Structure 1
Amino acid sequence: AAERRQIERALEETGGQIAKAAALLSISRTTLWEKMTRFGLAERARSET
C-alpha cells in the first residue's frame, strides 16, 4: 500500500509523466509500468492521456 501511494504521489508531482516519475522514484520506466499495472494504475494513466 505504501509503494502504491509513493507511485501515485510521484505521478501527481510529475503531471503523469512516466519517465520523470520513474526518475523521481529511482526506478526504470519499465519497472514503473510493471508496478502501475500490478496496482491497477496503468489503465488510469492511459485514460488520462
Structure 2
Amino acid sequence: RDKLTGDVAEDVWDVAGYVSPNPGGVGPLTRAFLLTNVIERAERS
C-alpha cells in the first residue's frame, strides 16, 4: 500500500461515516483509562 493506515478492518471503510487517523498511536486518555482499569482489577484481586 502507498499510505499509512491504522488497524481498521477493510469492511468498515464502506459503512463508516468517518474514520479518524491516530498518527501518534494510543492517546493519553486511552492510557489513563487502561491504567485505571488495571489498578481497579488489582485492588479486586
TM range (shorter): 0.3 to 0.5
Give the structure-1-normalised TM-score.
Answer: 0.30
Give the structure-2-normalised TM-score.
Answer: 0.33
Give the greater-gyration-radius structure (CA).
2
Specify which structure has the higher proportion of helix.
Answer: 1
